[in-house]
Structure 1
Amino acid sequence: MSPLPEVLFDVARNPFLAVGLPIGLGALSGYVTGQSTKSNWFKTLTPPPGNPPREAFGPVWTILYGLMGYASHLTVRAFDAAVTPGGTAQADQALQLYYGQLLINILYMPVFFVAKQKEAGLAHLLALTGTVTAMTVKMHGLSTPFSTTWFLAPYCAWLGYATYLNGGYVFLNR
């Protein structure tokens, strides 16, 4: 039996809810912390080289949230179609990692922007990157119509870039 509530499986079973949940949570997190990105604290920080304009983050994250949501849908389909206990367990573990990384992801913006904790934000991103890497590996081993890796590779790449940016803010603003 999975430690995840059945409702989380049901959300992932519906492709619209699977995609909409992370997009909605991301939008809510962005809305709550949006004013902080316009604060004097953030405006006075020295950005690292290659820092994109603020307006780029919303569209990029919307796409990434949609892709990760669809990967969760493919994973629950693999869970439902698994014929061995090992296949069920792997898909279940992948979904646990998915929901865990989603929580870590959503909490990043309040940590960095609202609490103004650059170092804690960097630690958060490192934990997120490790969790997403583990999730991607677990999902990759599942038999799905499309490899979830294609949906998660942009997210992994962006997390590397986000970690660079956060590390740059820490280094340049000691």
Structure 2
Amino acid sequence: MSFHLPDILLSIPRNPVTALGFPLTLGILSGFPTAKVVRGPWYNGLFFPPGRPPRQVFSIVWPLLYLSMGYASHLAVKTLDVSFSSSSSPALTLGLALYYAQLGMNIAWSPLFFGYKQVGVALIDSVLMTGVTLYATMLLDGPTDSRTTYFLVPYCGWLCFATYLNAGIWWLNRRPLSGKED
């Protein structure tokens, strides 16, 4: 099965500056409205699962993860550019397509959770994003001699943790189906 990515999606990670800057810029723009919400009554009225770090941790961790995933995309496209093996090209191409798919889900998560306050929908997004990222990481591992994996594993770990937090928030703040409290 052959899969083709549009040239623009290959040219972005080809340059290391745009490879790093693209996810970082999208992440910052997506998360920008979050600061106001986390200081507001809706967020501060939620129940949280054990292990939630201080909110300042997120503003440190996410930019590092965006840079890390961006560099992994750079390594993947550079490997694709020099790949002489037709057997590794499909894995690289699909891995890069999944990179963009997870990036789209990542950018959608903050507006879903903080903007629209759709904790359950954000949880579905988080579960799918985590699965897609884990699969992309596995696809890119072999063709890049594990170089992308070093940059994606921390992101995969954080996504698992973030999904746990999202699931805990959803569970602890769900409404009874009958609308009555027991």
Shift of 1:2: 5.0
Q: TM-score, normalised by structure 1?
A: 0.94
2:117 is paired with a residue whose SS is coil
Q: Which one has a bigger Cα radius of gyration? A: 2
Matching residue of 1:45: 46
**Higher mean Cα deviation, 135-144 or 105-114?**
135-144
Q: TM-score, normalised by structure 2?
A: 0.90
Matching residue of 2:118: 117
Consecutive unaligned residues in structure 1, runs of 5 or more: none
1:37-63 CA distances to partner (integer Å, 9 max, x unpaired)?
Answer: 222111100111111111111110000
Matching residue of 1:158: 158
Matching residue of 2:85: 84
- Paired residue total: 173
1:58-114 CA distances to partner (integer Å, 9 max, x unpaired)?
Answer: 110000111100000000011001112222222111110001100000100111111
Matching residue of 1:173: 173
1:107 and 2:89 matched:
no
Report the residue type matching 1:151 in the other structure: F
Percent of residue pairs identical: 42
The structure with more helix, counted as a fraction of residues: 1
1:86-143 CA distances to partner (integer Å, 9 max, x unpaired)?
Answer: 2222211111000110000010011111111111111111000110011000110113
2:88 is paired with a residue whose SS is helix
1:95 and 2:96 matched:
yes
Map 1:26-45 to 2 at 5 A.
26-45=27-46
Once residues 3 and 72 of structure 1 are traced to their aligned partners in structure 2, the CA distance between those partners, rounded to angstroms, is 16
**Residues 161, 13 of structure 1: CA spacing in aligned structure 2 closer, same or farther, 3 A cutoff?**
same
Consecutive unaligned residues in structure 2, runs of 5 or more: 175-182
Once residues 171 and 33 of structure 1 are traced to their aligned partners in structure 2, the CA distance between those partners, rounded to angstroms, is 21
2:47 is paired with a residue whose SS is coil
